[in-house]
Amino acid sequence: MKKGPAGLLLLLFLESLFFALVLVFLVVEEIIPILAVILGTVVLSFVLVKYERLNAFLQDLFSHYRKTAVAWGLIFVLALPFILHDSPYLIHLLFLSGLFAVLAIGLDFQVGSTHLVNFATAADYGVGAYTAALLAVNFGWSFWIILPLSGLAAALFGFLLGLPTMKTKTYYLSLVTIAVGLIIYLLLNNLSWTGGSDGIAGIPYPTIGGFSLGNSVRLFGMELPFQANFYYLVLGILFLEFVVARRLYQSKIGLAWNAIRDDEIAAACQGIDVTGSKIMAFYTNAFFDGLAGAIYAFNVGFIAPENFAFMLSVIVVTMVIIGGMGNVTGVIFGAVIMTLIPEKFQVVQSYRLWLFALIIIIMLLARPKGLFPQKTRQYA
Amino acid sequence: MDDRPILQTRNLSIYFGGLAAVNGVNLDVPYGKTVGLIGPNGSGKTTFFNLISGIYKPSDGEIRFKNENLTGCKSHQITRKGMARTFQNNRLFWQLSILDNVILGMYTKQQAGLIDVVFRYKRVRRELAECASRAMEILRYFSPELSEQPERLAADLSQGDRRRVEICRALASDPALLLLDEPSAGMSPEETDKLMEDIGKVKERFRDISIILIEHDMTVIESIADHVFVFNYGKKIAEGPYADISRNEEVLEAYLGKEADDA
């Protein structure tokens, strides 16, 4: 039954149902329906864990119509700004989700693949954002030149951060990264050339051939708010990172990272340069953080140290844990969920950290490998 | 073939605090031979392995491998020179599949780096596919059953299968010298028989390979080792063919204790 038109229809129906749920979750603002959607998702995930046959059936269905399923998903993601063109704020939220997904996939190189629980994401991100802001404000360079430069600056920072961190392991490594994150935060607050606690203002919108990304676009008779431009920009970067992450995973580098995660000594005895590989995880992660930082700076036009505080690093770590360490798709889900949920609970803003803690504890108890665990590599 | 030994140690020593875990060991492993390393618990056999495979840095002495001084080199550098090992308490990559584990044994054979991964991924894929088919071949050679379920996680395997995967992983790098650290530990007699068969298969297929085998099971040593070294308190106390060693008084003393010293 599953390898016919009926199967295909079922798949498209299920996927559309999922998209509809996402939309409801995005649009609705009352707390009760939101809670219902969240609860429903949790129950569904438990059902899938409990009934393995159903789970296997769905996975089979998905992998059989993989291309169609992905294409349908892509259409939905690309169409979102059109569906939501009346609410720029929601599109901005989606942009932020994408930005966090970029950070989370990068961090997964370390946390998921290599088990380096790095709490310095905010520092990498900040280095990227400040590089972008300083170059834009002081030299007036184009965004498209600044973007890769910010990535490289952050990568260099990640590399330098990696060097001393290599002397430590596990919790101690995390402590070192926390310390470095705090140092960067304090430096940004106190250096005069970064604007101190006032930050840097007046970063112009990026332009493409004279068209500023700060302008709205008329497409198919619809007025898309300027937030949509940034949404598509971040989608582009996310797509690139997704491809790179998948390739890294299915390469000797990804294998080496996993080997180091499971057993460092055995990894070294396979000829893996453990220190070098770990540092590579640091700078590849930092590179993408830097890109995200630059995009953020150009999106908001004004950055301050507060945007790069320790909490941001913690949030990105939770995204990786919830989504599924070592699973790129899962990490994207984790990032989107964890960006949207707090926004939806504005009412309970002050309990946000409680909520995060609760979600993490539940996840670690119920599904320690995340919503989407790492998959076994296929060689064919 | 070269007459000179593949591995030579001269005065090799390591001290942990005041304790000399390995103390002035001179040892020659001839090309293409299987040598046994025996001795009571705590006599420094595994420490000796950790020294020559670069996990520990020697406090004193020299390690020569294929006529090259490797003293002070790190594990990954030594592996690249053609040495591979297994561990006393199996150190597989538990969360990875059997096939991933064996492919990781070929890490040094793969050339593709970060640039290739990002810009020339086809090359990476081709290389990985080649490694995968070679890994499958090795698995099939040692265990057709394992080769039929290459995607099983290493953590889900039985003790005997874990050891077998570890040996496959070590062989995947095409080593000139293979170090086996007590492969029969924790195995049933049947599994031990199977293990001896496997080591025989290794020698059959990799004809030039030299093997150092740490073993407590003397039947394994007797049937496999061409030459035996005996360690006690970090020192080499005897060497020779098993037949001689098994009658050596000092060796018997090390294992059974002298009657006068029993106190």
Residue type, A190: N
Query: Which residue is listed with tokens 């379920």?
Result: B149
B114 and A374 in contact by Cβ < 8 A? no
Predicted confidence at residue A373, as pLDDT, reads 80
Q: Pairing relation of β-strands B235-240 and B7-16? A: unpaired
AA identity, residue B108: T
Residue ranges and CATH numbers for the domains of chain B are 7-92+177-256 (3.40.50.300), 96-156 (no CATH)
Domains of chain A and CATH, by start: 1-83 (no CATH), 88-366 (1.10.3470)
Of A248, A259, A378, the CB nearest to B93: A259
Contacts of A316 (CB under 8 A, 6+ apart): A100, A103, A104, A107, A121, A335
Given CB atoms, is B75 within the 8 Å cutoff of chain A?
yes
pLDDT bin (cut points 50, 70, 90) of residue A78 is very high
- The interface predicted TM-score of the complex, written ipTM, equals 0.90
Q: What is the mean pLDDT of residues A255-278?
A: 95
Q: Which tops the pLDDT comparison, B212 or A168? A: B212
The model's pLDDT over A184-231, given as tens digits with 9 standing for 90+, comes to: 999 999 988 888 888 898 899 998 887 888 888 877 778 888 999 999
Q: Going along chain B, which residue ranges are E strands?
A: 7-16, 19-29, 34-38, 60-65, 68-69, 83-85, 177-181, 210-214, 227-232, 235-240
| Over residues A64-78, mean pLDDT | 89
- The answer to whether residue A262 scores a pLDDT higher than 90 is yes
Burial of A220 (0-12, 13-18, 19+ CB in 10 A): exposed
Query: How far apart, in whole angstroms, are the C-alpha atoms of residue A358 and residue B94?
Result: 29
Rounded CA separation B137/B215 (Å) = 28
pTM: 0.90
pLDDT higher than 90, residue B253: no
pLDDT exceeds cutoff 80 at B66: yes
Kindly give the interhelix angle for A310-323 and A121-139, rounded to the nearest 10 degrees. Answer: 120
Check B128 against A251: CB less than 8 A apart: yes
Distance (Å) from the C-alpha of residue B110 to the closest C-alpha of chain A? 7
**How far apart are the CA of B93 and the nearest CA of chain A, in angstroms?**
5
The token pair at A232 is: 């598509």
Q: List pLDDT tens digits, range A171-185.
A: 899 999 999 999 999
Which residues from A are below 8 Å from B85, CB to CB? 269
Burial class of residue B256, CB neighbours in 10 A (0-12, 13-18, 19+): exposed
Q: Does B229 touch chain A (CB under 8 A)?
A: no
Percentage of residues in chain B with pLDDT exceeding 90?
Answer: 60
Average pLDDT over residues B123-139: 93
Asked if the model's pLDDT at residue A367 lies above 90, the reply is no
Residue A114 to residues A197, A274, B97, Cα–Cα distance (Å): 35, 10, 16
* pLDDT for the residue numbered B260: 52
Exposed (0-12), middle (13-18) or buried (19+): which is B15, by Cβ within 10 Å? middle
Cross-chain residue pair B117–A269, CB shorter than 8 Å: no
Contact indicator for A210, A315 with CB cutoff of 8 Å: no
Q: Which helix (H) or strand (E) is A176 found in, with range?
A: helix A170-190
The mean pLDDT value for B54-70 works out to 93
pLDDT given for residue A372 in this prediction: 80
The average pLDDT across B120-127 equals: 91
Contact A54, A47 (CB under 8 A): yes
Is residue A344 helix, strand or coil? helix
In whole angstroms, how far apart are CA A196 and each of A133, A187, A301, A303? 13, 8, 16, 11
Q: Does A263 touch chain B (CB under 8 A)?
A: yes
- pLDDT-based confidence at A347, cuts 50/70/90? low
What is the average pLDDT across B118-122?
Answer: 90
Q: Which two tokens stand for residue B178?
A: 């293979």
Distance set, CA B118 to CA A244, A251, B67 (Å): 6, 10, 39
B87 token code pair: 């561990």
CA A178, CA A180: separation in Å to the nearest integer?
A: 5
Contact at CB, B114 and A253, closer than 8 angstroms:
yes
CA distance B251 to chain A (A): 32
